[in-house]
Amino acid sequence: MKKFLLAATAAFALAGPSVLNAAEEIHIPKEEWSFNGVMGTFDKAQLQRGFQVYKEVCSACHSLQYISFRNFTDLGYSEEQVKSLAAQYDVEDGPNDDGEMFKRKARPSDHVPKPFPNDALARVANGGALPPDLSLMTKAREGGPDYVYHLLLGYEEPPAGLELTPGLSYNKYFPGHQIGMAKQVADGIVTFADGAPSDAAHIAKDVTAFLHWAAEPKLEARHSTGVRVTLYALIFAVLAFLAKRRLWKDIKH
Amino acid sequence: MSTEKSVWRKAFEWHEERLPLVSWLDHSLGTKYPVPRNLNYWWNFGSLAMFMLAVMIFSGIFLAMNYTPHVTLAFDSVEHIMRDVNHGWLIRYMHSNGASFFFIVVYIHILRGMYYGSYKAPREVLWWMGILIYLVMMATGFLGYVLPWGQMSFWGATVITSLFSAIPAVGDSIVTLLWGGFSVDNPTLNRFFSLHYLLPFVIVGLVFLHIWALHVPGANNPLGIDATPADKIPFFPYYVMKDVFGLGVFVVIYFIAVFWFPNALGDPVNYVKANPLVTPPHIVPEWYYLPFYAILRAIPNKLLGVVAMFGAILIMFVLPWLDRHPVRSASFRPIYRVFFWLFVANALMLGWCGAQLPEGLPATLSQVGTFWYFFHLLVVLPVLSWVETPKPLPASISQPVLKAAE
C-alpha cells in the first residue's frame, strides 16, 4: 500500500495530472475594488452589507472559522453592537461543575459558529460536496476577489451537448465548469439595511469585499505602514547615494 | 589636546590585547581589508545576501515564538500570526517574501561569479563554500515551505521526499527516515521544523568560511586580473558606503513586494489547509526550484531524473576545472560572453518549463534545456578553454581606470 501510494504520488506529480487539469484558460475579468491600489482601503458600509449577505445566505452552509465576533469592530460596528450581534448566536461551552456541556450565548471573543458540527454532516447536507470555509477564500483561489465575484455571477445554462452530473451546476468561471454549489446570488435576495442597491452584481460585489476583509483583515495597516516604510527607505537610499558619491569623489575607479 | 590616553581608550586597549575583536572586524570588513577599486554594482549582492540571511533569521525567530508545529494546529497558528499577533502579518510576509528575495540575490551573486570567472584559481574553495551555502539554502527553503501546512506544503513535501525512494536498495528506508513514519505526517512536520530552525545557523557558519576564503586571495574584480596594492582601496568606508546605498535601493524593492504584493510569488493553494485525501491538480515547488524541477521531469526515468537534478548543482563543484581558460573576466572573452548569456536564458526557460504541466511544448523544451545545461558545462566550457582567443588584458587595474579618469 505504501509503495503504491508513493508510486502513485510520484507518477501523479512527475507525469502530470493531465486528466484533472484539462487546463483550459478561463479568463477572469478584473474588477474595481476599493482595497486595490497603493493606499487602498475597505469601504466599511460595503463590508457591513457583505456581512449581511454572508449571514443571510452563505452562512447556511459555509463557515468563517478564523473570524471572531470581536473582529467585526473592523467593519465599523461599536463594541456594544458586536456584543449584541454575538448574543444572537448560541455556542457550546463546558464542561460545567456537573461535568456537562451546556449552551450559552456567544461572546465577542468567540469564533463565528460553524453551520455544521463536522465535515461529514456538512457533506450529507450538501449532496456529498463539502462547502469550504470562507475565511481565506479570496486568497486561496487563482484570481482572488475577481474570481470569487465572477464565480458568484457565473451561473449559466450548460452548453448544448454537455451532460451535467446530477446535483452539479454549470459555472462559466469554475475550473471544469461543474460546481457543487447551486446559484445563490440573484436580484433582491437580500434587502440591505442601508438601502443600497440589491441587484445580483451589487450583492456579489459586497459579499466578495467582505470575504476579502476576512482573508486579509490587516490590509489597511499593511498599505499605510507600507507607504511610510517605503518612503523612509527611499529617502535613506537617496541620502546614501549622495554620501557615497561624495565619499568616492576623489577615488578613481 | 593632551597625549594622555583616556580611561576608555585604556580599557579598550586592555580588552583588545586579550581578545582583538575590533581589530579582527577591522581586518575583515574594515579599513585593513583592501579591495580592488574597480568593483561594479554586481559586487553588491554578497552583502545583500548577508542582509537577507539576517532578516530571515530575525523574522524567523519571532515567527517561531507564535508557530505550532503540529498537523492539527500549524495552519491555524499561521493564521493566528496573521490576524492576532502584533504585526504578525508583517513578520510573516517579510519571512515568506524574504525567502524569494534571498534567492534572487543569491542567484545574481552566483551569476556574477560565473560572468567574471570568480571561481577560478585561486578562489576555488571560496566557490565551493558558496555552493555549499546554496545547497543548504535550498534545503532550508524547502523545509520552511512545509511548515504552514497548506496543500502545497503537504504535497510538495510528499513529492520531494519521495524522490529519495529512487535511490536503489536504501531509497525506501531513507524516505521512511525523512518522514518519521510511513507517510508525510506529524513526525515529518516536527523534524522539518527542527531542521528549518537549525540549518540557517549552519549557513551562518558557512558564510563565515566563505568570507574567510574570500580574504585569503582577496576579491576578484570586473577585469579579472590580479590587483596590486596600488589598485586597492580599503573596504571601510568606501565599499561599506557603496553597500549601504545598494541596500537602500534593494529594500525599497523588497518592501514594495512585502507591502503590496505579499502573495504574488506564492501559490494560492497553500491557503488551503493540508488534506492528504485531496491532491491539488498541479503540484509545483516554489519558483526558485523550478529550473531543477524541470530537469528532474525532463528525464523519463525517475532515478536518472533525480541524478540529473542533483547533478545539475553538484557539477558546479568542478566548474573551475571545466572552464580552464586562463582569463577570468567575460569582458575579455567575447565567445564565452555569448555562451554565458545563453546559459542564463536557458536557465530562465527551464524555470518557465518547471511551472508548466510536463506535456507538449514545455516537455520538449525541458529536454532541450536540460541537454543545453549540461552541454554548456561539460562541452562548451572545456572546448572554449582550448580555442578561445581572449582580447588583450590591461597591464593593471589602475592602467585603464586611471587613463579613463584623465
Percent of chain A with pLDDT over 90: 85
Beta partners for residue B232, in sequence order: B36
pLDDT at A251: 86
Take residue A20 and report the three cell numbers written for it: 484533472
Residue-wise pLDDT for A101-155, tens only, equals: 999 999 999 999 999 999 999 999 998 899 999 999 999 999 999 999 999 999 9
Average pLDDT over residues A199-216: 98
On whether residue A6 sits in a domain, the answer given is: no
Specify the CATH number for the domain of residue A42. 1.10.760.10
| DSSP code, position A201 | H
Take residue B63 and report the three cell numbers written for it: 515567527
Q: What is the CA radius of gyration of chain A?
A: 24
Shared domain for B308 and B252, answered yes or no, is no
| Contact yes or no for B245 and A218 at CB 8 A | no
On whether residue A160 sits in a domain, the answer given is: yes
On whether residue A165 sits in a domain, the answer given is: yes
On whether residue B231 sits in a domain, the answer given is: yes
The Cα–Cα gap between A38 and B19 comes to 51
- Note the helical H segments in chain A: 2-15, 44-56, 79-86, 119-125, 144-153, 200-215, 219-247
If you measure CA to CA, which chain A residue comes closest to B399?
A: A253
Chain A residues close to B79, C-beta within 8 Å: 66, 135-136
Size of interface A-B (CB pairs under 8 A): 143
Residues 106-145 of A with CB under 8 A from B: 132, 135-136, 139-142, 144
Residue A235 falls in which region: left (phi positive, over 0), alpha (psi -120 to 50) or beta? alpha
If you measure CA to CA, which chain B residue comes closest to A140?
A: B268
pTM of the complete model: 0.93
If you measure CA to CA, which chain A residue comes closest to B222?
A: A253
On whether residue A2 sits in a domain, the answer given is: no
| Contact yes or no for A21 and B282 at CB 8 A | yes
The Cα–Cα gap between A11 and A7 comes to 6
Chain B residues close to A252, C-beta within 8 Å: 37, 398, 401-402, 405
Chain B residues close to A244, C-beta within 8 Å: 241-242, 244-245
- Provide the ipTM: 0.92
Residue-wise pLDDT for B318-327, tens only, equals: 999 999 999 9
| Contact yes or no for B251 and A233 at CB 8 A | yes
Chain A residues close to B359, C-beta within 8 Å: 16, 18
If you measure CA to CA, which chain B residue comes closest to A226?
A: B259
For an interface test with B, which of A71, A227, A252 has the most B Cβ atoms less than 10 Å from its Cβ? Answer: A252
SS (H, E, C) chain B: CCCCCCHHHHHHHHHHHHCCHHHHHHHHHCCCCEEECCCCHHHHHHHHHHHHHHHHHHHHHHHHCCCCCCCCCHHHHHHHHHHCCCCHHHHHHHHHHHHHHHHHHHHHHHHHHHHCCCCCCCCHHHHHHHHHHHHHHHHHHHHHHHCCCEHHHHHHHHHHHHHHHHCCCCHHHHHHHHHCCCCCCHHHHHHHHHHHHHHHHHHHHHHHHHHHHHHCCCCCCCCCCCCCHHHEEEHHHHHHHHHHHHHHHHHHHHHHHHHHCCCCCCCHHHHCECCCCCCCCCCCCCHHHHHHHHHHHHCCCHHHHHHHHHHHHHHHHHHHHHCCCCCCCHHHCHHHHHHHHHHHHHHHHHHHHHHCCCCHHHHHHHHHHHHHHHHHHHHHHHHHHHHCCCCCCCCCCHHHHHHHHC
Of A17, A38, A237, the CB nearest to B281: A17
Banded pLDDT at A5 (limits 50, 70, 90): very low
Residue-wise pLDDT for A18-56, tens only, equals: 333 445 789 999 999 999 999 999 999 999 999 999 999
pLDDT at B3: 72
| Contact yes or no for B258 and A226 at CB 8 A | yes
| Contact yes or no for A141 and B268 at CB 8 A | yes
The Cα–Cα gap between A181 and A173 comes to 13
Shared domain for B176 and B142, answered yes or no, is yes
pLDDT at B402: 62
Degrees to nearest 5, angle at CA A229 with A223 and A231: 100
The Cα–Cα gap between B173 and A210 comes to 49
Give the three-class secondary structure for A3: helix
Yes or no: say if B109 and B100 are a contact pair by the CB < 8 Å rule.
no
Number of domains in chain A: 1
On whether residue B102 sits in a domain, the answer given is: yes
| Contact yes or no for B256 and A225 at CB 8 A | no
The Cα–Cα gap between A139 and A41 comes to 17
Of A3, A136, A252, the CB nearest to B405: A252
Shared domain for B233 and B364, answered yes or no, is no
Domain that holds residue B351: 294-397
Question: B262, exposed or middle or buried, with CB in 10 Å at 0-12, 13-18, 19+?
Answer: buried
If you measure CA to CA, which chain B residue comes closest to A223?
A: B259
Shared domain for B252 and B305, answered yes or no, is no
Q: Mind telling me how many Å the CA of A191 is from chain B's nearest CA?
A: 31
| Contact yes or no for A10 and B163 at CB 8 A | yes
Question: Which of B254, B100, B240 is CA-nearest to residue A229?
Answer: B254
Q: Mind telling me how many Å the CA of B107 is from chain A's nearest CA?
A: 23
Residues 186-215 of A with CB under 8 A from B: 215
Q: Mind telling me how many Å the CA of A244 is from chain B's nearest CA?
A: 6
**What residue ranges of chain B have pLDDT lower than 70?**
1-2, 400-406
Chain B residues close to A140, C-beta within 8 Å: 268-269, 271-272
Number of domains in chain B: 2
| Contact yes or no for B255 and A226 at CB 8 A | yes
Shared domain for B343 and B211, answered yes or no, is no
| DSSP code, position A143 | T
On whether residue A109 sits in a domain, the answer given is: no
Shared domain for B372 and B267, answered yes or no, is no
pLDDT at A8: 44
On whether residue A184 sits in a domain, the answer given is: yes
| Contact yes or no for B252 and A230 at CB 8 A | yes
On whether residue A198 sits in a domain, the answer given is: yes
Residue A7 has pLDDT above 50, yes or no: no
| Contact yes or no for A6 and B165 at CB 8 A | yes
Take residue A184 and report the three cell numbers written for it: 445563490
Chain B residues close to A16, C-beta within 8 Å: 282, 357-359
Chain A residues close to B223, C-beta within 8 Å: none
Yes or no: say if B150 and A136 are a contact pair by the CB < 8 Å rule.
no
If one counts every other C-beta atom within 10 angstroms of the C-beta of residue A249, the result is 7
pLDDT at A23: 53
Average pLDDT over residues A69-94: 96
Q: Is A60 on the interface with B (CB under 8 A)?
A: no
Shared domain for B231 and B372, answered yes or no, is no
Shared domain for B96 and B177, answered yes or no, is yes
For an interface test with B, which of A1, A6, A35 has the most B Cβ atoms less than 10 Å from its Cβ? Answer: A6
If you measure CA to CA, which chain B residue comes closest to A3?
A: B172
| Contact yes or no for A222 and B159 at CB 8 A | no
| Contact yes or no for B162 and A140 at CB 8 A | no
On whether residue B25 sits in a domain, the answer given is: no
Of B158, B272, B405, the CB nearest to A140: B272
Among B256, B283, B310, give the residue marking a domain's end: B283
| Contact yes or no for A252 and B244 at CB 8 A | no
On whether residue B328 sits in a domain, the answer given is: yes
Shared domain for B251 and B298, answered yes or no, is no
Q: HSE on the CB side for A134, CA within 13 Å? A: 28
Beta partners for residue A93, in sequence order: A102
Q: What are phi and psi of B96, to 5 degrees?
A: -70, -40
On whether residue B16 sits in a domain, the answer given is: no
Yes or no: say if B74 and B149 are a contact pair by the CB < 8 Å rule.
yes
Shared domain for B234 and B349, answered yes or no, is no
Shared domain for B299 and B270, answered yes or no, is no
